[in-house]
Homo-oligomer: A and B are copies of this chain.
């Protein structure tokens, strides 16, 4: 048995077999949203799914400076004005505090367990009770700028509804939202884009990592634009202007 094996693609002279399709055909007859879906999930999306994927992939195209990914990438490019390291470094900032639909995805997995044979409303009640009583933040909810509603989540849910692609995960996430508002009275912590991506991705049959893959693809054009902008017009060697030292005063001595 070979040391590595893959079901993604096979390359021979003049031919690339991508998930059972000829890459030449994909180049000629598919959009990139379709090609990306095929590569990541192993199947071609339907026409309706394609329309939803385009909206998903456009949802995070850029978010200005309100993103640790962008900021990290620009600081890297400021020290090392090269495209590749800064793009890679920006991606590394995706994690539990940003660009991490996997946490909302796992919330849905956990809700399904809590719910058992109950209704979506019962699942929502149980998970909200658990989080509220433990004073934990619900993943997939809230945004520093978009306080009453995250328009990107709204558009994706609307698009999924138009296209008949609303499944149990979207309905469950929306039930969690209603339960949260009812139990806490808070109206400024709406479903955010990470939550929407997780719910939609789960309904499309994606795994948590596949959902993150689409989220990362979506942020990359903006991230790349910022890196190029920093290389071409930014300041060399940026550093933090607004930092305090709160450690020990300079009073210690070595007595080796």
* Docked CA distance A30–B76 (Å): 31
> Does A31 lie at the interface of the complex (its beta carbon under 8 Å from any beta carbon of B)?
yes
Tell me whether A253 and B25 are in contact (CB under 8 A). Answer: yes
> Does A8 lie at the interface of the complex (its beta carbon under 8 Å from any beta carbon of B)?
yes
Q: Which residues of B contact A33 (CB under 8 A)?
A: 31-33
Tell me whether B22 and A243 are in contact (CB under 8 A). Answer: no
Report the minimal beta-carbon distance from A103 to chain B, rounded to whole angstroms.
12
Q: Which residues of B contact A9 (CB under 8 A)?
A: 61-64, 222, 245, 247
Tell me whether A79 and B89 are in contact (CB under 8 A). Answer: no
In A1-59, the 8 Å CB interface with B consists of 1-33, 35-36, 38-40, 42, 44, 53-55, 57-59
Report the minimal beta-carbon distance from A47 to chain B, rounded to whole angstroms.
8
> Does A152 lie at the interface of the complex (its beta carbon under 8 Å from any beta carbon of B)?
yes
Give the number of chain A interface residues (Cβ < 8 Å). 134
User: With A32-B57, A35-B58, A247-B19 given, is the CB distance from A240 to B4 under 8 Å?
Assistant: yes
Report the minimal beta-carbon distance from A57 to chain B, rounded to whole angstroms.
4
Q: Choose one: B25, B95, B156; the contact of A84 (CB below 8 Å).
A: B95
* Docked CA distance A32–B56 (Å): 9
Tell me whether A18 and B62 are in contact (CB under 8 A). Answer: yes
Q: Choose one: B36, B91, B100, B145; the contact of A61 (CB below 8 Å).
A: B36
> Does A114 lie at the interface of the complex (its beta carbon under 8 Å from any beta carbon of B)?
no
A-B contact pairs, 25 of them (CB 8 A): A4-B74, A5-B243, A6-B65, A6-B229, A9-B245, A10-B250, A21-B250, A32-B57, A32-B218, A39-B221, A65-B240, A65-B243, A68-B75, A68-B76, A68-B80, A70-B240, A72-B79, A78-B93, A79-B98, A81-B97, A83-B212, A84-B94, A144-B237, A213-B225, A217-B217
